[in-house]
Structure 1
């Protein structure tokens, strides 16, 4: 496309927006609302996934050894577990550490009750590996693998937590896809209506242009630019708003629900926007292009 043609198309695209102010404003506002909701849901979803991932890192299975398992065999078991798919890390817990942990949990405030076991560790054969998951959905496979290893007596697991986290992840994924599809459909519909109005207003002018031999691309370009501009403006406005609202919203939640401070963390805004900014702009521009391009093909037959 020549520079002069590009300039003409841009100028006509802006002129189309001015001619159809009400529809253009309605399209920009709706696009902004859709991108805002998309950004809002995206921020919620990525933070929720981050919280779930942190929770998954705390989900561990406990691998207990046979009584006659040697130190070398235990180390070999540890190496195999650490290399297993879905394992984040492993932590060896000695019998002494297991007993200390048991006392902290069950004898807290009644330490004298544990004095009778001072020289006789009741958990002498309870040294183990705590195996932490990088993907909780693979816990079942890791458990089966651990149980198949020589020297392993028993594997303790938390099925309820693993299944709950896996189900929550799937549910969030399905809901996200459904919401995004609805928002995209609404945006495309409104931009399509705006472009249709522009075509109606300029129908006679377009007919003359076609009659004197104007190429299809020359006729189509102003309407495509119109859709692109609406999409771009409709994306930038909500993204700027969300950027300044994000930290304030997080601060409000942490202040209002102070109990959450020690339970969950939120992603910093820059980490969220590393993906949200390019995706949001691409969505706005992409929706503007699709809505205008296919509307022109339908109405102008060019």
Structure 2
């Protein structure tokens, strides 16, 4: 398509929007509502995933050793675990003395005399040396635990099976719900854009017939309606995205200020990180919906 033809198509597309401004505004408003809802849903889901992923990295497995195992074997076990670099995020060794110190600090706080009742070399948790193993994704924990149990010198592997199951289920539910809601929003938006373009075709029916009689190509006739759909989608996406940027920033700031206790176990994604993904996705989604809606309508109502 030549630049002059493209310029004409854009101009006619804008005229179509202006001619049917009430329907265009209704489409932009509805599109904006859909993108706004999509943006809210996206922000909730991406933050929920972020919180869940952070929770996953805090769920550890504890690897205990046989009583007669030597330090060389313990080190070898650690090397074997750390070699699973695609699964293991961190593998930390905790000696029996460290385990006893941590236990005493937690349970004898304010009653240090109880701890003093034990001799310096009399560690009641002498067989409690262990590795604390953290994974990137909680779904991989079961397979890793089976592998570690097969290593020589490993007595037991403890894992938070309830937490693992819960987090895995939550990840799946989030994925299914996300797909369902996105499909519904897409279908509603395509329907609205389609109705607006249908009206534009009806209004210009006679003009289109004359253009065909004088030799206008199919692309030349169809292009303004495609541009119209894309522009409606672009404007309908840009407005709610700008509004979402302001709302998200203020809501997160308010929540973290008024409910500061949440910061101890919840971390929200900064607005820049969210919109680094949401902005291009929202704009492309809006233009794509407009284009698809226009194509469907043209095929159905514009026989050229």
Normalising by structure 2, what TM-score?
0.97
Map Cα deviations across residues 261-299 of structure 1 (whole Å, 9 max, x no partner): 222111111111111111111000111110011210111
- Which residue, out of 191, 194, 201, partners 1:192? 194
Match of 2:125 in 1: 123
Measure, in 2, the Cα distance between the counterparts of 1:99 and 1:60: 19
* 1:106, distance to aligned residue in structure 2 (A): 2.1
Measure, in 1, the Cα distance between the counterparts of 2:20 and 2:119: 86
Structure 1 range deviating more: 144-153 or 204-213: 204-213
Q: Check the 8 A contact 1:92/1:128 in 2, yes or no.
A: yes
* 1:3, distance to aligned residue in structure 2 (A): 1.5
Q: Check the 8 A contact 1:64/1:129 in 2, yes or no.
A: yes
Query: What stretches of structure 2 of length at least 5 have no aligned partner?
Result: none
Match of 1:12 in 2: 12
- Which residue, out of 273, 276, 283, partners 1:274? 276
Q: What does residue range 112-151 of structure 1 map to in structure 2 within 5 Å? A: 112-119=113-120, 120-151=122-153
Q: Does 2:156 match 1:154?
A: yes
Q: What does residue range 53-132 of structure 1 map to in structure 2 within 5 Å? A: 53-84=53-84, 85-119=86-120, 120-132=122-134
Match of 1:283 in 2: 285
Q: Check the 8 A contact 1:51/1:265 in 2, yes or no.
A: yes
Q: Check the 8 A contact 1:86/1:136 in 2, yes or no.
A: no
Measure, in 2, the Cα distance between the counterparts of 1:117 and 1:52: 41
* 1:56, distance to aligned residue in structure 2 (A): 0.7
Match of 1:40 in 2: 40
* 1:2, distance to aligned residue in structure 2 (A): 1.0
SS in 1 for 2:123: coil
Structure 1 range deviating more: 70-79 or 8-17: 70-79
SS in 1 for 2:64: strand
Match of 1:167 in 2: 169
Measure, in 2, the Cα distance between the counterparts of 1:175 and 1:253: 25
Map Cα deviations across residues 176-199 of structure 1 (whole Å, 9 max, x no partner): 111111111111000000000000
Measure, in 2, the Cα distance between the counterparts of 1:41 and 1:228: 23
Query: What stretches of structure 1 of length at least 5 have no aligned partner?
Result: none
Measure, in 1, the Cα distance between the counterparts of 2:258 and 2:172: 29
Map Cα deviations across residues 137-170 of structure 1 (whole Å, 9 max, x no partner): 1111011011100000111111001111111111
SS in 1 for 2:133: strand
Q: Check the 8 A contact 1:136/1:166 in 2, yes or no.
A: yes
* 1:104, distance to aligned residue in structure 2 (A): 2.2
Normalising by structure 1, what TM-score?
0.97
* 1:229, distance to aligned residue in structure 2 (A): 0.4
Measure, in 2, the Cα distance between the counterparts of 1:106 and 1:95: 16
Q: CA RMSD in A?
A: 1.1
Measure, in 2, the Cα distance between the counterparts of 1:266 and 1:258: 12
* 1:111, distance to aligned residue in structure 2 (A): 2.0
SS in 2 for 1:18: helix
Q: How many residues align?
A: 302
Match of 1:29 in 2: 29
Q: Check the 8 A contact 1:39/1:242 in 2, yes or no.
A: yes
SS in 2 for 1:91: strand
